[in-house]
Amino acid sequence: SGAGKSIVLDALAFVAGASRARCQVRTGADSGSVEAEFVFPEAERATWRSLLARYDLPLEEDLVLSRKLDKNGKTRCFVQGRLVPRTTLAELCAHLIEFSDQGDSHALRSPAAQLRLLDVCLGLEVFADATSRAYDGWRTLTTKCDVARQVSDEAERRRDFLEYQLGELRSAGVEDYAALQERIAEMADARGIHDACRDLKSLLGGGEQAVLSRLTDAARRLIHIPESERVLLEGHLNRALDSLHELFQESRRLETGHDFPEREAAAIEEQLVTLRDLARKQRVTPEELGARAGALELELEEARRARERPLELEEETRSARREAERLAVELDEKRRAGANQLEKRVAVELQALGLKSARLGLRFGETELGPQGITHLEIAYASHPSAVGQPLGRIASGGELGRVLLALRWATEVRRPLLVLDEIDAGSGGEAATQIGESLKRAAELGQLLAVTHWPQVASRAA
């Protein structure tokens, strides 16, 4: 205890891109950094060059990762000396490092964790991920479908109201408001000319008191004036009468040519009043009624489409469900197909770990479609030959869980370049710790292991 094991693991998790790093800058320092160098065998370099090429990063003989932490808590990540986002560093390290601690062995009590470990042991992670994505896609579509149905129901309730409003606007002729205004203005001009000419005609020839009648009477009375003076007056008066007769005829012509249609004007005024009332009702100006009708048409069309959307989504949802079920069935078949061989390999590893009489059985059943497919898995464990296999999480001790986890890991060749085991041997001791140390030594021949332990039986076997 106190040798600094946790510091090493914290530093490794930090440089591996952990989102919540436990590292802290030393008191008085401005920053701190961690650097990790990975050297690959020649046979693996082509694979890693291809992977790094996705991020436009080079690979020589080794891969250098580093991460710097400032005292203000900000971090910067580097790959091959180039600044990269933390997510890029984490994605690369997901292919480089696998962390496992005693929590993983205790997690084996969970059926979901057992199923995940089975997929890792059988190399089915790609198929499991595809099934999980398909399930999530189906569930997302199901939610969208439910929302679309609610929107459709609301749209159906609103559709009648929209159709009523639009019908009211269309029947009122909202598009004609500007033309009606222009027509009323034209009629007002015509009415002005008509009334002016009518008044002028009435003034000139409308009865005994009209100008023409009175001037004609005045002309007859000129006979009482001496002829020498009457001739001049008669000339002026006759010319005036001729001009006034022409004025009277022109007024009558203009009055007839600009006749005012009273009924049409009344009808237009009534329509304009209706349109202004509609504008107040719709909370727009009369000039905006046409645009308002267009907006209602669009809303009505959206309501019609909203009725069709659930039908489209229902078909997509059914298709997504079929695809998720197909992948789940395929994954279930692969799990069952690989189970027998895995059981045999696990039995060998359990013996090597000192559980010579223990038996591990994989019992399969079927369950409702979920993120992990349709497989129901129960790992049955028996500690000695006469014992009846019971659920692993219920019967195995902490030490046994750790060794079962190791047996399952060693039963498959699926490994990261570096496997970090943090007190995976917790709960063991004595001969069991010796056997775990031997097991780790053999496993290290297949891939690098970094093991944190409190047992000298384990630590003494490290290279």
Residue where the block lists tokens 């929107």: 151
Among 253, 123, 267, residue whose Cα is nearest residue 187: 267
Q: Are 242 and 204 in contact (CB under 8 A)?
A: no
In the chain the first and final C-alpha atoms are separated, in Å, by 21
Q: What's the half-sphere exposure (Cβ side, CA atoms, 13 Å) at 433?
A: 17
Q: Which residues pair with 101 in a beta bridge?
A: 422
Q: Please name which of 354, 420, 407 lies closest in space to residue 379, comparing C-alpha atoms.
A: 407
Cα–Cα distances (Å) from 277 to 10, 162, 282, 293, 395, in that order, read 75, 18, 9, 15, 82
CA angle 51, 55, 59 (to 5 degrees): 60
Partner residues linked to 253 by β-bridges: none
CA torsion sign for 40, 44, 45, 49 is: negative
Contact 66, 36 (CB under 8 A): yes
| CA 143 to each of CA 71, 310, 315, 317: distance values in angstroms, whole numbers, following the listed order | 45, 11, 14, 10
Residue whose token pair is 């790959």: 79
Spell out the per-residue pLDDT of the chain, length 463, in tens: 778 888 888 898 898 888 776 778 888 899 999 999 988 888 778 888 888 888 888 887 788 999 999 988 888 999 988 899 888 888 888 778 877 765 555 566 778 878 887 887 888 888 998 999 999 999 999 998 888 887 777 766 666 666 666 666 666 665 566 666 666 666 666 666 666 666 666 666 666 557 767 777 777 777 777 766 777 776 777 777 777 777 777 766 765 655 555 666 666 666 666 667 776 776 767 666 666 767 766 776 776 766 777 777 788 899 999 999 999 999 999 999 888 888 888 888 787 777 777 788 888 899 999 999 999 988 888 877 777 777 776 666 666 777 777 777 777 765 667 878 877 777 667 877 888 888 888 878 777 888 888 889 888 988 8
CB 22 within 8 A of CB 75: no
**Distance (Å, whole) CA 429 – CA 436:** 9
| Alpha carbons 63 and 79: distance in angstroms, whole number | 8
Instruction: Tokens for 429, please give them.
Output: 């001791």
CA-to-CA distance for 259 and 269, rounded, in angstroms? Answer: 18
Supply 351's token pair: 């013996």
